[in-house]
Amino acid sequence: MPQFLNINDADFETRFEVLLNAKREDSPDVDATVADIISDVRNRGDAAVIELTAKFDHLELTPETLAFSAEEIDIECEKVPTEQRDALELAAKRITDYHARQLPKDEMWQDEHGATLGWRWSAVSAAGLYVPGGLASYPSSVLMNAIPAKVAGVQRLAITAPTPNGICNPLVLLAARLSGVDTVYRIGGAQAVAALAYGTKTIAPVDKITGPGNAFVAAAKRRVFGKVGIDMIAGPSEILVIADQDNDPDWIAYDLLSQAEHDESAQSILITDDQGFADACVSSVEKLLKTLDRQYIAGASWRDFGAVMKVDNLDQAAVLSDRIAPEHLELCVADPAALSEKTQHAGAIFMGNLTPEAIGDYIGGPNHVLPTARSARFSSGLSVLDFMKRTTLAQMTPAALRAIGPAAEILAQSEGLQAHGQSVTARLERFNEERE
C-alpha cells in the first residue's frame, strides 16, 4: 500500500520531508567500472566497443556492422504494421510542429553610443542520441530526442540503439528514419556514450549527447560532460496528480499506474481535497493493477514509493506540488488553467481530466524528456534550445569606444590586468592622434 498523509496531521511535515528526500533508486557504485570502460574505448576504439558489446549484449559485431545499413533499415521498417506507422508519423508531425515554434530569433541593434550589439543562434554540428534497448526500447524516445535536434539544424544525427542478442525494434528504426537520423549504431551502455564522445575509427564523435539510460549510461554521461554537452541525468519516472472529487477514480488510477509500470523505482503521488475520492482511487489502483502485464513492476512502485495526500483545498495542493517539483503534473480539477498559474516547478503540466500524461509521452507535441528528482526547480525538459548555442556579437565605432572605453580601462586597472586596459588605451590614443 502507498503512504497516506494528511496535511492536518501533527507529523505531516516530518513525513513529507522524508518523502521528498527518499532515495528511490538503487544506484550501485558503477563509476569506477564506467571509468575503465571509457578509458578502454578511448585507447582501443572499435575493438573495445566490439568486445564490450559481445560481453554485455551477446552480439558479435565487426567495424563494418557496428551501424545498420540503409538496406537493413529498409527491411526492418517494412515490418511495421500500417496502423503503427500511421501513428508514428502523426506523432512525428505533431512533435515537429511544436518544436518548430521554439526556434529562437537572432537580434542586432545599435545602442545610444552607436555600438552594434546582438546575438546569433546556431546549432551544434553533430548530436548523439542514446536510445535504451531491451524492454525499454521506445520509438517515442527517438522522436523526442531526434526531432528537436533536426529542427534546431543539427547537421549530423547518430543514434546508439543496443540490440541484445541481435534483436532490434523495427519501430525504433522507423522513428529514426522519420526523424532524419543519419546513422544508427547497434551498441549501448557506457561504451556507446564513450564512443559518441571521443570517437573511434568507425564512429565519428559528436558535440552533444542526449537520451535516457541505466546507471552505467548516466555515469558515463557525467564523465564525458565537458568533452561534450549532455541533456540531463535522468532518474526514475514520476507523476503527481492533483484531483478533485469530480473525476472518475479509474481514470486517475490509470494515470498513477502509467508511471508506476515504467520502473519499480518510479513514483506516483495523488493529492486531493476529498478523502472519499482518495479512498476510491486507491481501491481502483488495487483493482486495475491486477489487469496489467507489468503488474509486478507497477505494484512494487506503488507499494514502495506511492503516496496519497489529503489537503483542505487546492491552493495547499499547489504549494505542495511546487515543493515536489514533479516530472509530470496532472491537474484534474474544475479550473486547471487557474491552478497551473499557482504552480511554478514542474517538468510538464497536463491540464484537465481529458489530458492524461500518456498523451504527452507520445502524441501531444511537447517533449517527454523531462527533469526528474525535483530538478524541475531549476531545469526544463528537452527542447530545440538544447541543440543550439548563442554567440554574442559586438562592434564598436570610434565614438562608441570613446564613450565606454575609459570605463573599461578603469575596471581593467582595478583588476590588475594591464594588457586588458592597454588594448583599449592604444586604440583610444590612435583615435586622438588622428583627430589632432
Predicted confidence (pLDDT) at residue 4 exceeds the cutoff of 70:
yes
Predicted confidence (pLDDT) at residue 254 exceeds the cutoff of 70:
yes
**What distance, in Å, lies between the first and last C-alpha atoms of the chain?**
87
Which residues partner with 72 through β-bridges?
A: none
Q: pLDDT digits over 120-156, tens only?
A: 999 999 999 999 876 567 899 999 999 999 999 999 9
Q: pLDDT digits over 313-355, tens only?
A: 999 999 999 999 999 999 999 999 999 999 999 999 999 999 9
Q: pLDDT digits over 19-77, tens only?
A: 998 877 666 688 999 999 999 999 999 999 999 999 999 999 999 999 999 999 999 99
pLDDT given for residue 291 in this prediction: 97
Q: Of all residues in the chain, what percent carry a pLDDT higher than 70? A: 98
Predicted confidence (pLDDT) at residue 226 exceeds the cutoff of 60:
yes
User: Which is the catalytic residue, given 99, 262, 328, 368?
Assistant: 328
Predicted confidence (pLDDT) at residue 361 exceeds the cutoff of 80:
yes
Can you tell me the distance from the alpha carbon of 366 to that of 351, in angstroms, rounded to the nearest whole number? 13
pLDDT given for residue 235 in this prediction: 85
Query: Shortest CA distance to 82 belongs to which of 174, 181, 172?
Result: 174
Mean pLDDT to the nearest integer, 207-228:
94
Kindly give the interhelix angle for 295-305 and 249-260, rounded to the nearest 10 degrees: 100
In the chain, the domains with their CATH numbers are 31-111+122-232 (3.40.50.1980), 235-378 (3.40.50.1980), 396-435 (no CATH)
pLDDT given for residue 81 in this prediction: 97
* Contact call for residues 343 and 59 (beta carbons, < 8 A): no
Residue 327 annotated to the active site = yes
Q: pLDDT digits over 400-416, tens only?
A: 999 999 999 999 999 99
* Contact call for residues 387 and 124 (beta carbons, < 8 A): yes
Residue 328 annotated to the active site = yes
The Cβ of residue 184 has, within 10 Å, a number of other Cβ atoms equal to 26
Q: Please give the mean pLDDT across all residues of the chain.
A: 95
Q: What is the pTM of this model?
A: 0.94
Mean pLDDT to the nearest integer, 287-299:
96
Q: Of all residues in the chain, what percent carry a pLDDT higher than 90? A: 92
* Contact call for residues 211 and 55 (beta carbons, < 8 A): no
Can you tell me the distance from the alpha carbon of 251 to that of 47, in angstroms, rounded to the nearest whole number? 51
Where is mean pLDDT largest: 130-139, 214-223, 386-395? 386-395
Q: pLDDT digits over 71-128, tens only?
A: 999 999 999 999 999 999 999 999 999 999 999 999 999 999 999 999 999 999 999 9
Predicted confidence (pLDDT) at residue 435 exceeds the cutoff of 80:
no
pLDDT given for residue 436 in this prediction: 60
pLDDT given for residue 24 in this prediction: 75
pLDDT given for residue 22 in this prediction: 85
Query: Shortest CA distance to 320 belongs to which of 284, 259, 374, 261?
Result: 374
pLDDT given for residue 434 in this prediction: 73
| Grid cell for residue 167 | 534483436
User: Which is the catalytic residue, given 76, 327, 330, 357?
Assistant: 327
